[in-house]
Amino acid sequence: MKEWRIIVSSIVDREVSIPLGIVVEKRKSSHPWADWVWKPTAVFLNGSQDASWEILVSGDDFTQYHAATLPLTLHRKETEALRLNLMLDQPELYVVLQENEDATSEFPYVPLIVTASSYEAQDYHDAGDDIIEKIAMPEAVAAFVQAFVEEHHVDVEFIKRRRDRLNTEEQKFGKTPIFKTHTKH
């Protein structure tokens, strides 16, 4: 519990991070073109920094690994997305797995990032072939995110922009209107 209090006391910073262990499951696939399905399934607080695909649980057709420990980084500019996430019945974290560039590795994916911002997760989704999964946010992490949002969120009022009135008889874009440049001979 001491570590939790230390983390909360640093919440006045613009950006804070807490380490989360990433659990990835390898499950036998029923699809004829794939032998295994890889999927992030959980996170836990204060995972070991040295963790690299440590087996947590194994069965006949599945294995769960502590694949890595990644920082959940909160920035004060993201508070709107964080606030919306906390309003859900079950707040979510998003874990992104990226294809492993090391072709000799037995693990085809590597954990890339964990985020509490659905906006950031959407950016990764739009960008390519990454695996992005929603995971239930643990209560302790939700309390940490809530404290950060309460400290840093500022409501920004929406201001509708008014259009300029345009005189269609005047020049447009710095050019003389076409009907004034041509003269009949």
Quick one: pLDDT at residue 48? 81
- Whether 168 is covered by a domain: the verdict is no
What is the domain count for the chain?
1
- Whether 171 is covered by a domain: the verdict is no
- Whether 184 is covered by a domain: the verdict is no
Decide: 101 and 126 in contact? Cβ < 8 Å.
no
CA distances (Å), 34 to each of 24, 25, 86, 122, 170, in order? Answer: 17, 15, 36, 26, 65
Per-residue pLDDT tens digits of the chain, which is 185 residues long: 334 443 444 445 678 889 999 999 999 888 888 888 899 999 999 888 888 899 899 989 999 999 999 999 998 888 888 898 999 999 999 999 998 888 888 888 999 999 999 889 888 888 778 889 999 999 999 999 999 888 876 777 777 877 776 665 555 566 666 665 555 65
CA distances (Å), 20 to each of 58, 101, 116, 137, 158, in order? Answer: 21, 23, 12, 11, 35
Residue range of the domain that includes 46: 2-152
- Whether 148 is covered by a domain: the verdict is yes
Quick one: pLDDT at residue 167? 61
Quick one: pLDDT at residue 10? 47
